[in-house]
Amino acid sequence: MSKSVSRRKFVQDASLSTMAIGLTPQFIKAQSNVVKDKVRIGIIGTGFRGQSHLDMLCERKDTVIVSFADPDLKMMASAQRILQKAGRPAAAEFTKGNDDYINLLKRADIDAVIIATPWEWHIKQALEAIKHKVIPGVEVCGAIKLTDCWDIVNASEQSGVPVMCLENVCYRRDVLAVYNMVKKGIFGELLHLQGGYEHDLRSVKFNDGQNGYNDGIEFGAKAYSEAKWRTNHSLYRNGELYPTHGLGPVAMMIDANRGNLLTRLSSVATKARGLHKYIVNHPKGGENHPNAKLKWKLGDIVTTQIQTHNGETIILTHDTNSPRPYNLGFRVQGTEGLWQDFSGGQLDAGHIYIEGVSAKPHQWENPEPYLKKYDHPLWKKYESQAAGAGHGGMDFFVENAFVECIKRNVPFPLDVYDLATWYAITPLSEKSIAENGQMQVIPDFTRGKWKNRKPDFGMNDIF
Amino acid sequence: MSKSVSRRKFVQDASLSTMAIGLTPQFIKAQSNVVKDKVRIGIIGTGFRGQSHLDMLCERKDTVIVSFADPDLKMMASAQRILQKAGRPAAAEFTKGNDDYINLLKRADIDAVIIATPWEWHIKQALEAIKHKVIPGVEVCGAIKLTDCWDIVNASEQSGVPVMCLENVCYRRDVLAVYNMVKKGIFGELLHLQGGYEHDLRSVKFNDGQNGYNDGIEFGAKAYSEAKWRTNHSLYRNGELYPTHGLGPVAMMIDANRGNLLTRLSSVATKARGLHKYIVNHPKGGENHPNAKLKWKLGDIVTTQIQTHNGETIILTHDTNSPRPYNLGFRVQGTEGLWQDFSGGQLDAGHIYIEGVSAKPHQWENPEPYLKKYDHPLWKKYESQAAGAGHGGMDFFVENAFVECIKRNVPFPLDVYDLATWYAITPLSEKSIAENGQMQVIPDFTRGKWKNRKPDFGMNDIF
């Protein structure tokens, strides 16, 4: 019998082990995983995303920021300044190369760690955290390889250390209102869902090594921030590279891994034109720039069809190399109506239609009155706290869930099975595209537990 | 060498044949396929769609309506009334059962025939028309089986009789304006396109046998108009049943069969809920109605991913069983911007963004100024004639192209290869869904001629 990854069980196992084999530093930490008032946190990766997490953690009275790991001294200094401004003590620093985070994880005074590093480090670092009985909150991306997804599930199940997927869009105000509507049956039985990551990232994938988000066509070693590492994925990979923002919210709506399962996918990609064009047309670029010689592998637009055990379909779009307004392109459609997003989360953008409720048959309505009426209890309660948080406030809620669940010693609402399933979309989509769009089976990372697991995301106004 | 289906070649072949084997009634008809002032037309299927064609044909001075075939005497009488109102002589009637249309086709005084019958008759009747050297204009649907698509191509190539696909949405005003923009390079190089048939047809699929489009839950023998035959396809088939309205316009934009080719597809379907729910909830239905016992095969929403030789991707959506506003859901995206439709063709609905042209970076604009600026020459010229025609005017243009091409003895802009390719989506999508979403190869119905064929749709203000 594989172990259930609940924090309650974790405590049980840890206690048993402690009795059986005696106290070690690791088991002291394990025993500390009971109901508590404050969470002692480390951050691995103090770049912009890590700093954004830090900002939010500093706003909370129930956090102790213990230590940072990052080999980038500039980013480390920025992170320390955030603590300073918040009137908090400096964090212990682990800056000695890429692997010094392991020493952070060895500390006995850390309950949990936020992993906000380049994509290829997420699973490796989360596995290391689990090894040291530190609870990882893992930033979003797609897996580098499918076995990574099994590794994190197996490690979490075997150790009893839970893992949270820090998928913030699940908490976007319109998304949570629609989730609320779904749970109240306003859309009837769900049929079809869409989401995606449609975000012109050209000025994120390239810069001049100085300013971060503009003014250059360099990437990798010559660049700054995300362009250092993110852009390489566009050069060497062709797939749905960033599935969670589009998939996470709709997966929650259909109770994936909780009475439902993602079963199969197929992906297609367009030709790759956008990044080359950007380099050639940029004032600092041109046909003769060395980067204009590169052959980019990532198709400009990648589409993925996902099937589910309960008969819904999901379409994901990855669209980051072309000029376009930001839009995650959500569509939530059931037997009684549908919502169509067309913006970056503004309540009054997009369209809605509910049979028997909408004023005129066969005519779209502005969704704002619906989204206000069904505003999620979390947003009602925390609106003012969320106001200053990143990405329009939604970042507050993902941080809140991470901290509150650890304090209460209860399971995460976005857990290791969600992380594994969502991350798995990336290598599966790459395989599908490489095989001309062949259908791929999505593994059941719960190994059958999805049949009995119950929905636990967004069920109250606490986390 | 397979024969090219151009009307010029057709005339050539016919002349050669006439010289070689002497005159027969068929070759008299064939010889008549030269430039002419009037087109002599028959209509097979005088239901509502056939009557709509008839309305438009009666508006033209260059048509002679010769004869009608339909076993439905009520519909036949309605069609004759249209002629009467137009001050035209009555048409010869062929009403003796389902096969009497063959006798219509045997007449020597018909150049062309409009086929507006139930879907399962289209190819059979078009083949019969070709056999009698009558040029078929075929209404849209999907093929019943893949071999139908080869049969119509082979018959047309072997006989030299051209075939037109009467796909009206290719001529919708916004669609033609966007086509115009595509051809002028406003969107840059095309990457990704979407379209579909998202139309709540529940009240079309069922009626009470009297009123046509409401008030009942009967279909088949007990029903009226389309519900007589269309609904059965939802009972027995699961696929992209109506691909052409979504696919035709975007296929023209990427020059499919003319330097480009649709190469592969995969389809997925949701569970089937809408039709059962409609029957159960209808005042004349309920759980105990016999139709509530039926198990509908057609998934409520069917999605199809199409790949092309030139590296674009196309997503098609078929969504006819659920409450929703009408929307063909077009998206046309290139390296320099994108248009997103969100209505039934209104110019001021939807969104557009063109890099360097749109007022603000990363922000949608209302498409109306663009669609007016790039209004297609056909609409500029024929706006007043089109005003009264069906489906917001677009029906005028498909009729116009059919008649003008026959008069001029030039190839149809939507030809037998388009018909075969678009119709083929249906059986291929059914196969894909039956195989859990497996990728299917789309045949090259041009047998390689796509490499040298040139775009000829919408290139002028004549047809």
State how far the Cα of B95 lies from the Cα of B72, in Å rounded to an integer. 7
* Contact (CB<8Å) A437/B264: yes
Q: From the list A266, A300, A333, which residue is nearest B439 (CB)?
A: A266
Whether the CB of B101 is below 8 Å from some CB of chain A: the reply is: no
Q: How far apart are CA B108 and CA B125, in angstroms?
A: 17
Task: List, as one string, the DSSP characters of A248-297.
Answer: HHHHHHTTBTTTB-EEEEEEEE----HHHHHHHHSTT--TTSGGGG----
Domain span(s) for CATH 3.30.360.10 in chain A: 170-377+416-451
Q: Can you give the pLDDT at residue A342?
A: 87
A355 and chain B in contact, CB less than 8 A? yes
Between A and B, how many residue pairs show a Cβ–Cβ distance under 8 A? 156
- Give A192 to chain B, closest Cα distance, Å: 7
| B266 interaction partners in chain A (CB closer than 8 Å) | 266, 268, 305, 437, 439
Contact B266 A264 (CB under 8 A): no
Q: What is the pLDDT of residue A390?
A: 78
A191 vs B273, B307, B326: nearest CB: B273
Select B32-169's CATH number: 3.90.1150.10, 3.40.50.300, 3.40.50.1100, 3.40.50.720: 3.40.50.720
Cβ burial of A201 (10 Å; 0-12, 13-18, 19+) is buried
Looking only at the bridges linking them, the beta strands covering A112-115 and A39-44 are parallel
Q: Are B120 and B222 in contact (CB under 8 A)?
A: no
Flag whether residue A362 sits within 8 Å of chain B, measured between CB atoms. yes
Give CA–CA dist B279/A381, Å, rounded. Answer: 42
Q: Which token pair is A145?
A: 């390889």
Give the model's pLDDT for residue B34: 74
ipTM: 0.92
Instruction: Test B273 with A325 for CB contact under 8 angstroms.
Output: no
B274 within 8 A of B322, measured Cβ to Cβ? yes
| Contact across the interface for B324 and A301, Cβ inside 8 Å | no
B357 contacts chain A (CB < 8 A): no
Element (H, E) at A143: none
Contacts A299 to B, Cβ<8 Å: 311, 313
Q: Does B336 touch chain A (CB under 8 A)?
A: yes
Query: Is B337 in contact with A355 (Cβ distance < 8 A)?
Result: no
Give the tens place of pLDDT for each residue, B156-175: 999 999 999 999 999 999 99
Residue A403 amino acid letter: V
Of B315, B323, B336, the CB nearest to A336: B323
- Distance of residue B443 Cα from the nearest chain A Cα, in angstroms: 15
Q: Does A336 touch chain B (CB under 8 A)?
A: yes
pLDDT, chain B, mean? 92
Could you tell me which residues are beta bridge partners of residue A332? Answer: A193, A339
Amino acid B389: pLDDT:
80
d(CA A398, CA B326): 37
Whether the per-residue pLDDT at B21 is higher than 80: the answer is no
pLDDT in tens, chain A (463 residues): 343 444 333 333 333 333 333 333 333 344 445 788 999 999 999 999 999 999 999 999 999 999 999 999 999 999 999 999 999 999 999 999 999 999 999 999 999 999 999 999 999 999 999 999 999 999 999 999 999 999 999 999 999 999 999 999 999 999 999 999 999 999 999 999 999 999 999 999 999 998 766 689 999 999 988 999 999 999 999 999 999 999 999 999 999 999 999 999 999 999 999 999 999 999 999 999 999 999 999 999 999 999 999 999 999 999 999 999 999 999 999 999 999 998 888 999 899 999 999 999 999 999 999 999 999 999 999 999 998 787 888 999 999 999 999 999 999 999 999 999 999 999 999 999 999 999 999 999 999 999 999 999 999 999 9
Which residues have CB under 8 Å from A210's CB, separation 6+?
A216, A224
A270 touches chain B (CB under 8 A): yes
What does the pLDDT read at residue A25?
37
- The number of residues in chain A equals 463
Kind of pairing between the strands at A262-269 and A440-441: antiparallel
> Which CATH number applies to A170-377+416-451: 3.40.50.1220, 3.30.360.10, 3.40.50.720, 2.60.40.10?
3.30.360.10
The predicted-structure confidence for A141-179, as pLDDT tens digits, reads as follows 999 999 999 999 999 999 999 999 999 999 999 999 999
DSSP track, A171-207:
G-HHHHHHHHHHHTTTT-SEEEEEEEEE---HHHH-B
User: CB distance from B31 to chain A under 8 Å?
Assistant: no
Taking phi over 0 as left and psi of -120 to 50 as alpha, with beta for the rest, B265 belongs to: beta
Predicted TM-score (pTM) of the model is 0.93
Express each pLDDT in B201-215 by its tens digit: 999 999 999 876 668
d(CA A354, CA A339) in angstroms, rounded, equals: 9
Which residue from B268, B300, B364 is facing A305, i.e. has the nearest CB?
B268
Interface of B with A in 197-256 (CB under 8 A): 200
- Whether residues A273 and B189 touch (CB distance < 8 A) is answered with yes
Q: What is the structure's pLDDT at B392?
A: 82
- Separation in Å, CA of A188 to nearest CA in chain B: 10
Query: Which residue in A310, A323, A353 is closest to B323 by CB distance?
Result: A353
User: From residue A186, how far is each of A189, A249, A335, B236, B375 by CA, in Å?
Assistant: 9, 17, 9, 30, 40
Please check whether residue B194 is in contact with residue B315, taking contact to mean a CB–CB distance below 8 angstroms.
yes
Using CB atoms, which residue from A301, A323, A337 is nearest to B313? A301
Q: Mutate one of A324, A352, A441 to test the B interface: name it (highest B CB count within 10 A).
A: A324
Give the distance from residue B437's alpha carbon to the nearest chain A alpha carbon, in angstroms: 6
A323 CB neighbours in chain B (<8 A) are 335-337, 353-355
Query: Any CB–CB contact under 8 A between B266 and chain A?
Result: yes
Q: Please give the Cα distance from A14 to A5 (Å, whole number).
A: 13
C-alpha atoms less than 13 angstroms from C-alpha of A137 in its C-beta half-sphere: 32
The per-residue pLDDT for range A27-65, each reduced to its tens digit, is: 334 444 578 899 999 999 999 999 999 999 999 999 999
The interface residues of chain A toward chain B in range 405-424, judged by CB-CB distance below 8 A, are none
Check: CB of residue B162 under 8 Å from CB of residue B6: yes
Q: In what order do the strands lie in the sheet with A92-94?
A: A92-94, A63-69, A39-44, A112-115, A135-138, A164-165
Q: Tens digit of pLDDT for each residue in A377-409? A: 999 999 999 987 878 889 999 999 999 999 999
What is residue A212's predicted lDDT score, i.e. its pLDDT? Answer: 62
Residue B315 with chain A: CB contacts under 8 Å: 303, 315
Q: Is A369 on the interface with B (CB under 8 A)?
A: no
A353–B311 CB contact, under 8 Å: no
